[in-house]
Amino acid sequence: MMKFNPKSKFLKLQNKLVFLGIVMLFFIATDVKAQVINSPNKQLVLTFELKNGVPQYQLVYKGKAVIKPSTLGIEVVNHPSFMDGFVISDSKEDSVDNSWKPVMGEVKTIRNHYNELLVTLSQPTLNNRFIRLRFRLFNDGLGFRYEFPKQKDLNYFIIKEEHTEFNLAGDHKIFWIPGDYDTNEYAYTTSKISEIPNLMEEATAFISAQWPIKNLAVQTPSMMKSSDGLYINIHEAALINYPAMSLNVDAENFRMSSHLTPDAVGNKGYIQTNAQTPWRTIVVSDKATDILASKLILNLNEPTAYEDVSWIKPVKYIGIWWEYFVAGKSTWAFGTETNVKLEDDFSKLTPNGKHGATNERAKAYIDFAADNGFNAVLIEGWNVGWEDWIGNWKENVFDFVTSYPDFDVNAIHEYAASKNVKIMMHHETSGSATNYERRLDRAFQFMKDNGYNSVKTGYVGQIIPRGEHHDGQWMVNHYIHVAERAADYEIMINSHEAVRPTGLNRTYPNWIAQESARGTEFEAMGGLAPEHTTILPFTRLMGGPMDYTPGIFQTDLTYYNTGGQQRVNTTLVKQLAYYVTMYSPLQMAADIPDNYDRFPDAFQFIKDVAVDWDNSYILEAEPGDYITIARKTKGKNEWFVGGVTDENSRTATVPFSYLPKGKEYLATIYSDAKDASWDKNPQAYTIKKALVNSKSLLKQYMAPGGGFAISIKEATPSELKELKKL
Ligand code: NOJ
Ligand code: CA
């Protein structure tokens, strides 16, 4: 038996005090010592330090503050938070310089070059519980994330809120849409940060199933420009098993902070160690073109784990689609009934006489696709359930396998296959993700059995499980589950109304494109400002390819005599430019085939244009004003150039220095006519052929709301003889 020894108790106490003293000293010492890393080219400097035990970072570009000292932390529901009381218990630096090849992309090789700082932060008063912060500093910006390693006292926790600050250096110009848990289909507002409070109400127009954030918040990707010429883009990369982040706006102090999407019970994330947050990304440059050229977000995503990616292919498609929005002569629904159930006998419905997805129409579209070199035809409204698909928060709207009586899946598949055309499947879930998950395997097997290799998914309406949001952790996991499951069946996904992308097309390359922003459909529902597509590449497209659905030639929609006064707010030629300026390996020619037949010479550009590239050259750009991009076709000596302007006419300067030297090429230039404009004369254009070489320089006119498009290829001997130089 141990004897009571007052001396040893005293010694123990003394030891404890000494230990505490050391901890305190350590605490103070580490608190003052800031850690600094540079970008490989030394133009960016990241500083990390603890201020009174609170993590804080700042970012400087060429001597200018991008992010002033800003705090980091995670507030937790069921445990003490990861907000303060930290000491730095370890810190490591690393440098990486390698490159990789995307399955499809804007460039064939991507360089991944950064310096890294990894700090371990422990909380001595909480039994040395610890987290890590990993910072990666590239030449084009910063990515950082929180990591939660597995440890004795930390298995599970629930996030109340992430508190990542982005303390900006001034009252920047910002291109923004309102923070919303359920939709990103808002029009952009351009203002100063300080003006956001006054403009928020007007900016928050009605959109079905919207859920605007109550306190002042905007969405990412958030594009800003400082008065001294810095372009700053804040977004996130690799959003997996975590809710999407919006940005709270403190408009007086130009301070933004993370605002995560809650779940049905108000929690913001369920974490089990090992885990990490998505990367928070800040792309920065004094050149707007660098923002568009940045591959930082892709670099921060994990390489794909798919062993075979040979089945993932670019898609150029047409569809029974735009006519539902504008022509008024056809509908998704077959019957006139307004209350149907999946178990109903749909052949007994009263036909409304306007069903779009009939065998006859499908065959006509397949013929058009085959004649003009398209890979696929999207057919919406082929499956039962469209009579009451929206607005009822209904669980079992669609079954994804039963066609309407006038659509023969087998016959259409055989007809398409005989013409070497694929049918693109359409899975509108109407927000009922539970129903979709239950039926997913049967739906994908049905696709496999009938020769479909791609599907457009959709999430219109309020989400089921009820109370969940489009951008919450549950749905984030759902979209990824669908992509992974689709890969098992070698199916490509083109999602609409899903959470905005964060570069996951690197990890899940069959998640080939997304809508996740206001796309062409809104030209038929209130219109898009002419500047909209000069902003989207700086915002939505920073995260990944967009199924924008360009190619509308009949822009004046009164043409259809449906009573609407709508128009598409671009010239015809600007619609051509989109195939180059709005990057996606999946592109639609969205207009009704009849309209392409009316303008065969302009349609030639859509037939020719590539969708997968060896290289891209961002020639000129200013968010909200104009963008000019040239791209080289993957594996071919062909180039395409696209330029777009906002509501102002403009002259673009187009170099050709990316062409191999010393050789003349044939350029076909599609221009707005001198008297063209988006509102008065949108279909006036000229097409000119000329020879160009690497030294040519073109001054190219763009009409108000217009643009231009150029295709460049090898010239034949007779073209070399007959055509003039530019
Ligand atoms: C919204 C999508 O964006 C649109 O393309 C589709 O036609 C409808 N939902 C119906 O699924
Ligand atoms: Ca949509």
- How far is it, in rounded angstroms, from Cα 709 to Cα 112? 31
Is the C-beta atom of 515 inside 6 A of ligand 1?
Answer: yes
Amino acid (one-letter) located at 446: F
**Residues in the chain with pLDDT values less than 50:** 1-13, 15-30
Is the C-beta atom of 458 inside 6 A of ligand 1?
Answer: yes
CA of 715 to the centre of ligand 2 (A): 41
Q: What tokens does 169 get?
A: 């250096």
Substitution candidate for ligand 1 out of 427, 521, 523, 528 with most atoms within 8 A of CB: 521
Is the C-beta atom of 323 inside 6 A of ligand 1?
Answer: no
Indicate the burial class of 725 (C-beta count within 10 angstroms; 0-12, 13-18, 19 or more).
exposed
- DSSP, residue by residue, 535-558: HGGGTGGGSS-B---------BGG
- How far is it, in rounded angstroms, from Cα 505 to Cα 306? 12
Residue 11 confidence (pLDDT): 45
Q: Which residues contact 346 (CB under 8 A, 6 or more apart)?
A: 334, 335, 340, 384, 402, 404, 405
CA of 205 to the centre of ligand 2 (A): 15
Among the listed residues 315, 411, 327, the one whose alpha carbon sits nearest the alpha carbon of residue 363: 411
- The CATH architecture of the domain made up of 303-516 is Alpha-Beta Barrel (3.20)
- DSSP, residue by residue, 212-263: B-SSSEEESSEEEE-TTS-EEEEEEE---SS--EEEEEETTTTEEEEEEPP-
Is the C-beta atom of 496 inside 6 A of ligand 1?
Answer: yes
The residues of the chain that CATH labels 2.70.98.10 are 32-299
Atom of ligand 1 nearest to the CA of 325: 7
Starting from the CA of residue 182, give the closest ligand. 2
Residue 32 confidence (pLDDT): 53
Among the listed residues 174, 142, 151, the one whose alpha carbon sits nearest the alpha carbon of residue 67: 142
- pLDDT digits 0-9 by tens, 704-717: 999 999 999 999 99
32-299 fold: Beta-galactosidase; Chain A, domain 5 (2.70.98)
Is the C-beta atom of 521 inside 6 A of ligand 1?
Answer: yes
- R_g over Cα of the chain: 28
Q: What tokens does 615 get?
A: 């290289």
Which backbone phi and psi does 366 adopt, to 5 degrees? -60, -45
Tell me which residue has tokens 């952790």: 473
Is the C-beta atom of 460 inside 6 A of ligand 1?
Answer: yes
CA of 210 to the centre of ligand 2 (A): 12
Residue 544 contacts residue 692 (beta carbons within 8 Å): no
Q: What tokens does 412 get?
A: 């259409």
Distances, alpha carbon 497 to alpha carbons 243, 430, 456, 514, 529, in Å = 15, 10, 11, 8, 21
CA of 459 to the centre of ligand 1 (A): 8
Substitution candidate for ligand 1 out of 380, 426, 430 with most atoms within 8 A of CB: 380
Atom of ligand 1 nearest to the CA of 549: 5
Residue 2 confidence (pLDDT): 40
- pLDDT digits 0-9 by tens, 399-432: 999 999 999 999 999 999 999 999 999 999 999 9
CA of 36 to the centre of ligand 2 (A): 44
- How far is it, in rounded angstroms, from Cα 701 to Cα 595? 25
Starting from the CA of residue 457, give the closest ligand. 1
Residue 328 confidence (pLDDT): 85
Indicate the burial class of 7 (C-beta count within 10 angstroms; 0-12, 13-18, 19 or more).
exposed
Atom of ligand 1 nearest to the CA of 321: 7
Q: Which residues pair with 180 in a beta bridge?
A: 212
SS (H, E, C) 694-716: CCCEEEEEECCCCEEEEEEEECC
Starting from the CA of residue 185, give the closest ligand. 2
Among the listed residues 270, 276, 274, the one whose alpha carbon sits nearest the alpha carbon of residue 300: 276
Q: What tokens does 724 get?
A: 């003039």
**Residue whose CA lies nearest to ligand 1 atom number 11:** 428
Residue 662 contacts residue 721 (beta carbons within 8 Å): no
CA dihedral for 236, 242, 244, 246, sign (positive or negative) = negative
- How far is it, in rounded angstroms, from Cα 152 to Cα 71? 27
Residue 177 contacts residue 189 (beta carbons within 8 Å): yes
CA of 492 to the centre of ligand 1 (A): 17
**Does residue 195 carry a catalytic annotation?**
no
**Residue whose CA lies nearest to ligand 1 atom number 3:** 496
Among the listed residues 509, 639, 664, the one whose alpha carbon sits nearest the alpha carbon of residue 586: 509
- How far is it, in rounded angstroms, from Cα 528 to Cα 99? 38
Q: What pTM does this model have?
A: 0.95
User: Considering 49, 162, 236, 521, which one is annotated as catalytic?
Assistant: 521
